[in-house]
Structures are given as structure tokens and as C-alpha cells.
Chain A
Amino acid sequence: EDKVVQSPLSLVVHEGDTVTLNCSYEVTNFRSLLWYKQEKKAPTFLFMLTSSGIEKKSGRLSSILDKKELFSILNITATQTGDSAIYLCAVESNDMRFGAGTRLTVKP
């Protein structure tokens, strides 16, 4: 059965810290891996990854995919309190599989 596992489930850091969130997956017919930030009602799209080894970057956030080892990481540098959220990883294959999310808390 397809599955997506995120770690850690919860993380508490202080402003300025760098964090790395992990997402591993086992799916058949992989199409893409997506990262979302969830604060309120609807998750906000961050990145879509389809190719191995190509880093995607947006400001302080970056992400990379390893299709051989079947995982992706999401890095956030110089964290701010506004980064506090649940970060979701989803893999699109024959359907969409979401991980349980990582709850990130950034303290001032």
C-alpha cells in the first residue's frame, strides 16, 4: 500500500534556527511530490518536485527530492515566528497520499 511518512511529527525551535523536515514515501507510479504549509483553512502550496537532485528555492525555503532513496527534505533557514505551521508532504501517484504533517513551532 502506498504511504507517505513525515518526520519529525513536531518540532520546536527558536527564531533564527534552521530546520529540516523530512518526507519519505513508498508509492507505485510516482508522478510528483508536493510540499504545503498549513496555517488556517487551506494549505498553501510551496513546492512541486518531480526530478531528483534539483533544488527548488523560494526565499528562505528550499526543497530537494531523491527518487532513488525515495525521500524529500524541506529546509527553512533563519526561521521566523511566522513560519509556525503544519508542513504537509504529499505524493501524487495513482492517487494523492498525504503525510501526517510536521508541526513546526518557532519561538521568539
Chain B
Amino acid sequence: GAGVSQSPSNKVTEKGKDVELRCDPISGHTALYWYRQSLGQGLEFLIYFQGNSAPDKSGLPSDRFSAERTGGSVSTLTIQRTQQEDSAVYLCASSLGPEYYEQYFGPGTRLTVT
């Protein structure tokens, strides 16, 4: 079956512009996670959704970052007024529910802020 998909796969943007990243989780997966991977770093947790609500937003690095999920499915991560330090691979993962350890990862969006 279809896995987690993300779009765009690559995004180059100028400093100060807003960007929107999209994640399509596996159908039926109620839990959705956003992570960020900077060059040479491990995964950095950003936000977690259970259904449409986000019980844990603790990882969002600043108020320029926001995310929403609608219909218990697609999620978008928005970064406003991008900065060069926002350059990273943004990964989305989904799982059947929060109690399930198995998270299925998408291919990521590589964001480059020039």
C-alpha cells in the first residue's frame, strides 16, 4: 500500500519568505509526527498530532513554526519568515496510534534557505 508521502521533495527559498510543507500519512494512521534533521544532527522532534489535535507542540523551535492537520489526515507545516538556520530535511511520520512505536517515515522535504 501507499506509504507516507511528503511534498515538495526539495524547496529552495529566500530568507524571509514563508514556506509550507505537506505530509500525507498512511490511511488510517491517527498519529502524525513532524521532525527536523539538520546536517550531521539526529532527528529533532517538532510536533505530534493525534487526530486533528496537537497534544505536544513542545518541539517547535519558535513562533515562526506552526502546523495543522485537517480531517485527521493531511498535515501542513508552515515556516514563516524563513531563516538560514531553518535549512534542514523535514520529515513526517505516521503511526496507527500514539501507543504504537512503529512510525512510518516519509522521504522528507529538503529545505534550503538562501
Which A residues fall within an 8 A CB radius of B?
32, 34, 36, 38-45, 48, 85-86, 90, 92, 94-98, 101
User: Closest Cβ of chain B: how far from A62's Cβ, in Å?
Assistant: 17
Tell me what chain B mostly uses at the interface: helix, strand, loop, or mixed: strand
**Considering the chains assembled together, what is the distance between the CA atoms of A41 and B99 in angstroms?**
9
* B-chain residues with CB within 8 Å of residue A42 when the two chains form the complex: 33, 35, 43, 45
Contact A41 B9 (CB under 8 A): no
> When A86-B101, A86-B102, A97-B107 are in contact, do A48 and B91 touch as well, CB less than 8 Å?
no
Q: Judge whether B89 is part of the interface by a CB distance below 8 angstroms.
A: yes
Contact B107 A96 (CB under 8 A): yes
> When A95-B89, A96-B107, A97-B107 are in contact, do A39 and B43 touch as well, CB less than 8 Å?
no
Of the candidates B9, B42, B107, which one forms a contact with A36 in the assembled complex, judged by CB atoms under 8 Å apart? B42
Query: 9 smallest A-B Cβ distances: which pairs?
Result: A45-B42, A42-B45, A95-B107, A98-B105, A96-B108, A95-B108, A86-B101, A96-B89, A43-B43
Q: Whose C-beta in chain B lies nearest to the C-beta of A32?
A: B40
* A-chain residues with CB within 8 Å of residue B102 when the two chains form the complex: 86, 101
Contact A38 B101 (CB under 8 A): yes
